[in-house]
């Protein structure tokens, strides 16, 4: 059976309120009962003391009895033998108190309010009675005691009226409890419904939602957590969309990069198949197909390298090696490519410069940067500079090429980005992956790379490698 949270809250609040009302009412009733009996006792003692102070003269007793008759208070006097001497009766009556109580009276102790089921004449009548002893003024001997009684019915009538008033108050309180429970339950359920509505909004894919939180209770804490969740989901959604866009762009870029060499190879193969290429051009066609095939292999290898780096599948083997010797080897490797663009490769590095890095990956980084410089430089200089600064190895690749526009500098690290689209099909660095791989490798080394470029004047890439602590 489904029991809605609103009614659960309402029932809970109602039970709590009514429990408090009942407990308070019961406590008040008990307190009132005790107070009523106590006040009756004090009142009856007052009457007895007044009679004793008046020497218990018969005329005073008659006057007092007459006055108290309307209150149904009865005055009775007993002598030291426990015999009733007032009111005077033809038959002898005793108080009927126990020997222990009589002894207390003889010793001057008063007996507090006592409930009796019969009066002194044997009639069935509930009475509340107090006993007060009196003594002879001359010899201070026990002379008897005064019994002042009042019917329980009067006290019970007062208590009954009080109970009726409490019952009326209980009914009114019940109505008030229903209203308060309704208000409290509605307030709490509204707060839950606010979260529920927000949850549905998020479930529909709208993460631009914020719940007010006053940090007062657990609901506010939940609202704050919900806001954090919504922000996290929004960030995740944006990242998913960004990654999806990157995936689509990646697929488009890969298709674009592969289309050109595949189209070239396919065209040459068709030409060879249908004997459409002259014999003197067949060797050149095979060379073109060979070059395009190598280009495809480089593209695949670079993509594999990039993904391995991003997925932490590449492990570095760092050690110290001489920077100048390594740069000289790189210059020797790339000298022919530089000469084809009529560029000069210059090394500016002292023999003391050492690098702490993975040798093969360091060579890959500098080769990529140097090839990139060769690609965008004609009839210029490319300098490989090495320095030691503040316990760090600083390597710079400087060129006098076309430079990079300021708005494009931040994007050069993205996969397949090309600052100069017109040169995308040149022999070196045509995939657009070189700088992306360089940045990832630098990150793996815990090193930093920065670029400073002026359009028309050249570009400087600065690599900073920390030295291993001794």
Angle at 200 between CA 197 and CA 202, to 5 degrees: 110
**Once rounded to an integer, what is the mean pLDDT over residues 288-304?**
75
Say if residue 307's pLDDT is above 60: yes
Query: Per-residue confidence at 313, pLDDT binned at 50, 70, 90?
Result: low
| In a shared domain, residues 319 and 461 | yes
Q: Is the CB of residue 56 less than 8 Å from the CB of residue 146?
A: yes
- The last residue of a domain, from among 283, 307, 331: 307
Select from 459, 427, 247, 234 the least CA-distant residue to 338. Answer: 427
DSSP string, 154-177: HHHHHHHHHHHHHHHHHHHHHHHH
- Residue 184 in domain: no
| In a shared domain, residues 11 and 153 | yes
| In a shared domain, residues 123 and 43 | yes
pLDDT of residue 421: 43
- The last residue of a domain, from among 159, 178, 201: 159
| In a shared domain, residues 420 and 385 | yes
Query: Per-residue confidence at 202, pLDDT binned at 50, 70, 90?
Result: confident
Q: How far is CA 450 from CA 53, 269, 457, in A?
A: 114, 45, 17
Give the residue numbers spanning the domain of 249.
Answer: 218-307
- The last residue of a domain, from among 91, 125, 159: 159
The total number of structural domains in the chain stands at 3
Say if residue 162's pLDDT is above 60: yes
- Residue 409 in domain: yes
- Residue 153 in domain: yes
User: Which tokens belong to 99?
Assistant: 């020997």
pLDDT of residue 139: 85
pLDDT of residue 431: 46
- Mark out the alpha helices in 54-151 (DSSP H runs): 58-68, 99-106
pLDDT of residue 57: 82
| In a shared domain, residues 412 and 366 | yes
Q: What is the CATH number of the domain that holds 69?
A: 3.30.450.20
- Residue 190 in domain: no
Q: What is the CATH number of the domain that holds 440?
A: 3.30.565.10
d(CA 25, CA 164): 12
Select from 391, 398, 390, 342 the least CA-distant residue to 369. Answer: 398
How far the first Cα of the chain sits from its last, in Å, is 73
Q: What is the CATH number of the domain that holds 232?
A: 1.10.287.130
Select from 244, 258, 447 the least CA-distant residue to 362. Answer: 447
Q: Is the CB of residue 382 less than 8 Å from the CB of residue 398?
A: yes
d(CA 244, CA 310): 17
- Residue 210 in domain: no
d(CA 423, CA 375): 8
Say if residue 2's pLDDT is above 60: no
| In a shared domain, residues 356 and 302 | no
| In a shared domain, residues 259 and 385 | no
Query: Per-residue confidence at 191, pLDDT binned at 50, 70, 90?
Result: confident
| In a shared domain, residues 94 and 234 | no
Q: Is the CB of residue 28 less than 8 Å from the CB of residue 162?
A: no
- Residue 207 in domain: no
Read off the pLDDT of residues 383-403 as tens digits, 9 standing for 90 and up.
Answer: 999 999 988 999 999 999 998
pLDDT of residue 303: 67
- Give buried/exposed letters for 205-237 (b at 16+ CB in 10 A, else e): eebeeebeeeeeeebeeebeebbeebeeeeeee
246: left (phi over 0), alpha (psi -120 to 50) or beta: alpha
Beta-ladder partners of 115:
128
User: Which tokens belong to 87?
Assistant: 């009111």
Q: Is the CB of residue 299 less than 8 Å from the CB of residue 434?
A: no
pLDDT of residue 470: 44
- Residue 168 in domain: no
| In a shared domain, residues 267 and 405 | no
Q: How far is CA 308 from CA 250, 300, 379, in A?
A: 16, 12, 36
Average pLDDT, rounded, for the chain: 83
Half-sphere exposure of 122 (CA within 13 A, CB side): 4
User: Which tokens belong to 314?
Assistant: 């590449």
d(CA 464, CA 324): 15
| In a shared domain, residues 267 and 320 | no
Minimum mean pLDDT range among 21-35, 197-211, 330-344, 417-431: 417-431
d(CA 145, CA 394): 118
Angle between helices 279-310 and 218-273 (to 10 degrees): 170
| In a shared domain, residues 150 and 234 | no
- Residue 213 in domain: no
d(CA 285, CA 268): 6
Say if residue 429's pLDDT is above 50: no
Select from 136, 149, 132, 151 the least CA-distant residue to 48. Answer: 132
Q: Is the CB of residue 362 less than 8 Å from the CB of residue 401?
A: no
**Once rounded to an integer, what is the mean pLDDT over residues 162-170?**
85
Say if residue 286's pLDDT is above 50: yes
User: Which tokens belong to 333?
Assistant: 């490797």
- Mark out the alpha helices in 111-217 (DSSP H runs): 152-203
| In a shared domain, residues 345 and 419 | yes
Read off the pLDDT of residues 63-102 as tens digits, 9 standing for 90 and up.
Answer: 888 888 888 899 999 999 999 999 888 888 998 899 999 9
**Once rounded to an integer, what is the mean pLDDT over residues 425-447?**
69
pLDDT of residue 110: 92
pLDDT of residue 27: 87
């Amino acid at each position: 059976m489904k029991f809605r949270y609103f009614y659960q809250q309402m029932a809970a609040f109602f039970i709590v309120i009514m429990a408090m009302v009942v407990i308070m009412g019961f406590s008040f009733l008990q307190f009132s009962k005790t107070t009523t009996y106590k006040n009756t006792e004090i009142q009856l003692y007052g009457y007895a003391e007044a009679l004793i102070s008046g020497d218990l003269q018969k005329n005073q007793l008659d006057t007092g009895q007459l006055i108290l008759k309307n209150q149904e208070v009865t005055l009775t006097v007993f002598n030291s033998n426990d015999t009733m001497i007032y009111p005077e009766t033809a038959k002898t009556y005793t108080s009927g108190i126990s020997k222990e109580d009589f002894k207390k009276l003889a010793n001057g102790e008063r007996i507090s309010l006592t409930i009796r089921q019969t009066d002194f004449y044997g009639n069935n009548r509930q009475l509340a009675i107090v006993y007060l002893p009196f003594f002879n003024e001359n010899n201070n001997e026990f002379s008897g005691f005064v019994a002042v009684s009042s019917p329980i019915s009067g006290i019970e009538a007062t208590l009954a009226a009080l109970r009726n008033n409490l019952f009326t108050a209980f009914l009114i309180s019940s109505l008030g409890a229903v209203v308060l429970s309704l208000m409290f339950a509605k307030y709490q359920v509204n707060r839950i419904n606010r979260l529920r509505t927000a949850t549905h909004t998020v479930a529909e894919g709208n993460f631009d939602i914020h719940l007010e939180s006053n940090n007062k209770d657990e609901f506010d804490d939940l609202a704050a957590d919900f806001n954090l969740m919504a922000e996290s989901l929004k960030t995740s959604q944006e990242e998913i969309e960004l990654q999806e866009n990157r995936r689509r762009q990646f697929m488009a870029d890969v298709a674009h990069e592969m289309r050109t060499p595949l189209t070239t190879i396919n065209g040459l193969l068709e030409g060879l198949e249908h004997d459409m290429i002259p014999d003197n051009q067949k060797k050149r066609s095979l060379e073109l197909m060979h070059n395009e095939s190598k280009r495809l292999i480089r593209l695949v290898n670079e993509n594999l390298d990039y993904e391995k780096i991003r997925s932490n599948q590449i492990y570095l083997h760092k050690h110290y090696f001489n920077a100048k010797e390594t740069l000289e080897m790189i210059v020797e490797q790339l000298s022919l490519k530089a000469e084809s663009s009529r560029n000069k490769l210059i090394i500016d590095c002292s023999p003391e410069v050492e690098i702490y890095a993975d040798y093969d990956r360091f060579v890959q980084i500098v080769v990529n940067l140097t090839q990139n410089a060769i690609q965008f430089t004609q009839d210029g200089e490319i300098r490989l500079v090495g320095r030691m600064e503040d316990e760090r190895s600083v390597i710079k690749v400087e060129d006098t090429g076309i430079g990079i526009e300021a708005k494009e500098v931040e994007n050069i690290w993205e996969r397949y980005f090309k600052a100069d689209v017109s040169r995308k099909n040149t022999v070196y660095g045509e995939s657009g992956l070189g700088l992306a791989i360089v940045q990832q490798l630098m990150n793996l080394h815990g090193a930093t790379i920065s670029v400073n470029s002026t359009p028309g004047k050249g570009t400087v890439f600065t690599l900073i490698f920390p030295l291993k602590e001794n």
